[in-house]
Structure 1
Amino acid sequence: MEKLQAALERARKVRELETRTTRPVSTLPEPDQAKDALDRRWNALDRLEVDPRHLKSRRVVTHAASEAAAPFDILRTKVLLQMRQHGWKRLAITSPMPFSGKTTTACNMALGLGRQNDLRAMLFDLDLRAPSIHRFFEFTPPNGIDELLTGKTDFASQGLRIGDNVAVSMARGQIADPTRLLLAEKTAETLDQIEAEYEPDLMIFDLPSVLVNDETRAFLKNADCALIVIRADTTQYGQFDTCEREIGEHTNVLGVVLNAYRHGKRAPRS
């Protein structure tokens, strides 16, 4: 009888040991663990407080719903639906020539997406010869986007969060020889890593004007599609036509935004 009891006791201890070694570390299902980790990465980004009055002075009006924001909201929705249809996540925004409103459009797109609570968006200032997004948001980051793209710092240290679901990566100032940086494989690898770690629904890249230099051409291989911003009172048709053809050689042309249009006023032709 004593031998039987001893055998039963040994069997009980074996079962308890097996239960302890096979018990999961967390009771959360695996998808919930991944979502929780993703939320922590976004929440860990330093928060950037923006001044709506300053944004409005720079014609960035999508921080809150309004009549002024409506045209950009329509653009946001059209862009988002088309990109989802094709499975695209990376949007380049450029123009044929400077002063067409591409950076204003990029900032409005990003903040408009931020009002969609189920989406996450990222905005990157890659107009490295003349960066301006830091002036739109009245903040100069301690680490510039060039340090991020070359691997000297990571997005957790360089990226800033506006609200809960918009992240922005800005330059500190003008960068010498931007093409070298935009063409580099290290830049492509860094963007792939950011996309994998933060899983944004949309990555927006504010690029230089196409007809000014070769920097946008150098980067477009990293974008799924491009939006062209033209200005009604300055962009010539020949400039737009050349810009559209050159972008089409490197990525998909998603569409065209006509900026500064006035009813009853015809755009100049070349």
Structure 2
Amino acid sequence: MGKIFRALEKAGNKLTPGEKSASSDDTAMVSDDSDTQVSELSETTVQPFSIHANPDLVTAATPHSPVSEQFRLLKNNILFPEKGNPPKTIMVTSASPNEGKSFVAANLAVSIAQSIDEYVLLMDCDLRSPTIHTFFGYEGKEQGLSDYLSNKIPLSSVLKKTSINKLTILTAGQIPSNPSELLSSDQMRRLLHEVKLRYNDRYIIIDTPPPYMTSKANVMARFVDGIILIIRQGKTRTKEVTDILDIYGREKILGVVTNFSKKKLGYGYGYNKIGHGYGYHQQQ
């Protein structure tokens, strides 16, 4: 059993029992090495911050809202596919920045963790512009993935508990000077391989930068079961989507979440040429 697996297992076991469970002009829809010691995850105090009060984490703050229902629909399509086994390792990305990928990754992770039996690890691999920590009350100054990859510190020291039961997060850590090199490093490949191989009872949601932001975009794609693509209505162009399909391959795309940016809160759901499309309207 790998060291990373043991660290993740211990992180899950140490969750406090009392913790709560908790966008269209021309748009398309769709490890550690042997010298690295991974010690037991030390007790981590959950931040004195209620994620239920964070309006951006809608699946926790307003679990009965129309937007949360859209995430449940997305979750159910992942957990209960028409064919084959459910994808356990899922990459969430977008064609360009500011299209809402971190919003989707965080809320999807919470929605899955709110299920009866599912445990989730949410990883922030957007080392250039990390956001995941903000959804869960962390400041971004804490050690995270970049520190693990750069300094080969124990994985257990960078895994963080949340006040959502069954959800562990790995934040990005300090913004490094060489994000592309870290994401394509042997250490990163070992991490992804070990997590997928050894922790196959947990859903792994990976927030990644747009593919054009790193020349090594397809490194992580090789280790995931599927990709969810985020596009923004009125912003993402069809060519940007087809370029992503060329990079990752259509067979990797699980579906597309369309961010409908409107002034009134609402939601949308529909089909498209590539797969299912799930949309939300977010108040500007």
TM-score by length of 1: 0.73
1:19 is matched with none
One-letter code of the match for 1:161? K
Stretches of structure 1 lacking an aligned partner (at least 5 in a row): 1-36, 265-270
Stretches of structure 2 lacking an aligned partner (at least 5 in a row): 1-6, 15-40, 269-284
One-letter code of the match for 1:60? L
2:246 is matched with 245
Once the two structures are superposed, what CA deviation does each residue of 1:191-226 show, in whole Å capped at 9, x if it has no partner?
333455654421011000123332422321221211
> Between Structure 1 and Structure 2, whose CA radius of gyration is higher?
1
Indicate the SS of the match to 1:75. Answer: helix
1:259 is matched with 259
Q: CA deviation at 1:183?
A: 1.4
One-letter code of the match for 2:58? V
1:149 is matched with 149
Q: CA deviation at 1:247?
A: 1.5
1:109 is matched with 108
1:60 is matched with 57
Q: CA deviation at 1:84?
A: 8.3
2:46 is matched with 48
One-letter code of the match for 1:235? T
Indicate the SS of the match to 2:54. Answer: helix
Query: Aligned equivalents of 1:107 and 1:161: distance in 2?
Result: 14
One-letter code of the match for 2:12? W
Q: Is the 8 A contact 1:150 1:187 kept in 2?
A: no
One-letter code of the match for 1:223? V
Query: Aligned equivalents of 1:244 and 1:191: distance in 2?
Result: 22
Indicate the SS of the match to 1:98. Answer: coil
RMSD between aligned alpha carbons?
2.8
Query: Aligned equivalents of 2:246 and 2:85: distance in 1?
Result: 21
Q: CA deviation at 1:143?
A: 1.7
Change (3 A) 1:39 1:244: closer
> RCO greater where, 1 or 2, for CA within 8 Å and sep 6 or more?
2
Query: Aligned equivalents of 1:82 and 1:151: distance in 2?
Result: 39
Deviates more, 1:226-235 or 1:62-71: 62-71
Indicate the SS of the match to 2:253. Answer: strand
Q: Does 1:124 align with 2:123?
A: yes
Count of residue pairs brought into register by the alignment: 225
Once the two structures are superposed, what CA deviation does each residue of 1:20-78 show, in whole Å capped at 9, x if it has no partner?
xxxxxxxxxxxxxxxxx98654133535344235521xx22112621231111111111
1:21 is matched with none
1:214 is matched with 215
Once the two structures are superposed, what CA deviation does each residue of 1:111-160 show, in whole Å capped at 9, x if it has no partner?
11111131101110001111111222221363221222356223322101
Question: Which runs of structure 2 are paired with 1:159-178 in the superposition (5 Å)?
Answer: 159-162=159-162, 163-178=164-179
Query: Aligned equivalents of 2:10 and 2:95: distance in 1?
Result: 40
One-letter code of the match for 1:95? S
One-letter code of the match for 1:90? T
Query: Aligned equivalents of 1:168 and 1:84: distance in 2?
Result: 29
Q: Is the 8 A contact 1:60 1:107 kept in 2?
A: yes
Indicate the SS of the match to 1:222. Answer: coil
Identity of aligned residues (%): 24
Q: Is the 8 A contact 1:123 1:168 kept in 2?
A: yes
Change (3 A) 1:48 1:82: farther
Q: CA deviation at 1:175?
A: 1.8
Query: Aligned equivalents of 1:40 and 1:240: distance in 2?
Result: 39
